[in-house]
Amino acid sequence: MNACFSRRDFLKWLTQLCALSAWMLRTPFLFASDTKTLTPRDGQATVVIAKRPEVYSASGELSSSVVKQIIDAGITKLSGISDVNKAWLSIFKPEETIGIKVNAVGGRNICTHHEVAYAVANSLVSAGIKPYSIIIWDRLTEELLRGGYTINRDENALRCFGTDGDYEREPETSGSIGSCFSSIISRRCDALISIPVLKDHDLSGVSINLKNFYGAIHNPNKYHDNGCDPYIADLNSHPYIKDKLRLIICDGLTAQCNGGPGFKPQWAWKYSGLLFSRDPVAIDQVGCQAIDEQRKFKGLQTLAEAGRFPKHIQTAAKLNLGITDPAKITTVLA
């Protein structure tokens, strides 16, 4: 033994090692996730579909208690952990700051329901995340207000606000894009949850998870040519998104199959559910299928037949951001 490493030092080191090992065995859920890789190593992806028709009352009111039931069912099924708090902690650590990216551009009728976003935030708090370590955000505060959100910038509480021009000063490139990123995504958050809407888009075909991050850059207006392809995929390949995105919960309580991204009541329907995944591409693939099924039900052409096939989903898969092959995507009900 090295003379500089005494028997007392060795015993002290051994005691600490044993204590650490015992702690890890007691709390394996804190180490269950690979925070850098959303897609499982075996090339498979899981999308959980949690639907509850009773989430809407006969008069059309949304039940907050049923929303919570859906979220609890989805996160436990996706993680394979029956304890809700441990399920959350298999993905996030208590010391992290978590950004919840919602989509409020369509207004109250076709946006991420604030009931869903706040229920997710409250579940994280119950699991041990500090309220001040959670930021619900989107591109514009004005749009959040229209979506029914309560704006709060108090750094000692759960926060909710828009980027509103608070971007990094220097643009960064990612494939075909060159943009200044929101400081929320670049510096304030360690991890991200994306809560997009299950809806059609008149240019990109669909606006689900991948397109949700157009709200994270200062110049999304530049990237709508060619059905937003390859721009959406290139944006999502940037480390601010690729390396921080841990969970996607697609809000399909009210979905839309045509005429998006704005609200068109004749094409909206109550899907009455949420989709959960850790694969940012697979969830868009499954969501796209749900939209096409509703289009057929309504007597509309499929997105491909209408000339709006969402090419960006396939491009994202080619960039190894996730999976589109239906044979490798497992959909399960919760």
Two tokens, residue 125 = 């708090």
Whether the pLDDT of residue 297 is over 70: the answer is: yes
Which has more pLDDT, 323 or 7? Answer: 323
| pLDDT per residue as tens digits for the range 267-282 | 999 999 999 999 999 9
Two tokens, residue 289 = 């299928």
CATH of 38-333, picked from 3.40.50, 3.90.550, 3.40.190, 3.10.20, is 3.40.50
pLDDT score, position 114: 98
Which positions ≥6 away from 38 have C-beta within 8 Å? 245, 246, 278, 279, 280, 322
What percentage of the chain exceeds 70 in pLDDT? 87
Which positions ≥6 away from 208 have C-beta within 8 Å? 196, 197, 198, 199, 250, 283, 284, 287, 288
DSSP string of 21-58, one letter each residue: HHHHHH-GGGGSS-TT--S-TTS-EEEEEEE-GGGB-T
Question: What rounded mean pLDDT belongs to the chain?
Answer: 90
pLDDT score, position 24: 35
List residues bridging with 182 in a β-sheet: 167
**CA angle (282, 182, 104) in 5-degree steps:** 60
Which of 13-22, 223-232, 238-247, 296-305 shows the lowest mean pLDDT across its residues? 13-22
